[in-house]
Amino acid sequence: MMKKYEELMDLCIKNAAKYRFDVAPNPMVAAIVYDENQDKIISMGVHKKYGENHAERNAILEAQDCDFSDKTLIVNLEPCSHHGNTPPCADLIIEKGFKKVVIGMFDPNPKVSGSGIMKLKNAGIEVVTGVLEDECKELNKVFTKNITKNMPYVLIKIATTFDSKIATAGGESKWITGETSREYVQCLRAQHFAILSGSGTILADNPALTCRLKGERTPDRIIIDRNGKIPFDYQVFKEDGARVFLATNNLNRDFPPNVIPVEFANFRDLFAKLYNKGVYSILVETGQTSLSVLIKQEMADEIYKFVSPKIFGEGMSYLRNLYVFKIDEAYKLKFEHVQKVAEDILITAKFLYD
């Protein structure tokens, strides 16, 4: 039966992921009412919009006049046990008399964190936990960071040669990786609330920092420009429906209507302010200075490193002024995945901070 639970949980994950931006800052959740005796899905519910019904309630409503006493509820996140914008889902599940609830992961929200599961067990409902737990945690990693730290999830994207260079000795950087890797980056942009870049990268390349995938939203843009060096006719300031946050300490300028100046002391201060403005995840695409400071201040959660089969020898590395004199003082990561992307390799890793 566990294999069937995993199959249904995977279906929940895929359906929940479709509403990433609509449910924020809530988690992505889907639920299935399943008849084990007939091996039949009775209904599916998805949390589709912040403030509206949670997935469990939608699945129950979709099942209409079903007798739930011999049914199993599959859900990728522990049902809530507290009153928020909607009543507790755990109470509704108990009221409907479900026989069993299969859960992917505990809710990281301190208001829930096991209390929903305890409610179900105390009501005599069989509870199965940890089904595709890693995949469920990956789905809602942004929510977990948001709810536990009140900060956005920060993912660094870099493209380097085999010897970890981001530009030649002559300063050329287009293109280090292949077209397939660049398309992959567009997918990453589509998954994040905002893209961050620094003045050095903007002045050198004048990028648009948009998502070129058809039908996908254009992420907000965060531009680090402490001294106001970037002219407002650059592409990143173009009005295209996205908000542009200009992280700067030079406020003596006339800002375009779509540009929101944000004064900041450091990345922690900046990200806290952006989180309060609804920026829940950030894709970092910037040069060595900002990357190094970001890592030094321990503000990055994850890194996607695209490695091309090229060697530059002399050239620009993607980090600078990050001095580690003892091995046990190194910045530590946990490798997640290594995969081929056409001719390139993608390495993903998560930062491990004490």
- Active-site residue identified among 6, 36, 52, 56: 56
Rounded CA separation 314/95 (Å):
68
Placement of tokens 């970001």 in the chain: 294
Rounded CA separation 54/99 (Å):
20
Give whole-number Cα distances, 55 to 16, 44, 130, 180, 239, in Å: 9, 8, 18, 35, 36
* Nearest Cα to Cα of residue 152 among 247, 284, 59, 261: 284
Rounded CA separation 71/300 (Å):
43
Rounded CA separation 17/142 (Å):
12
Rounded CA separation 134/166 (Å):
32
Q: Are 193 and 281 in contact (CB under 8 A)?
A: yes
Q: Report residue 124 as tokens.
A: 């005599």
* Nearest Cα to Cα of residue 219 among 281, 277, 158, 264: 281
Q: Is 36 a catalytic residue?
A: no
Query: Which are the catalytic amino acids?
Result: 56
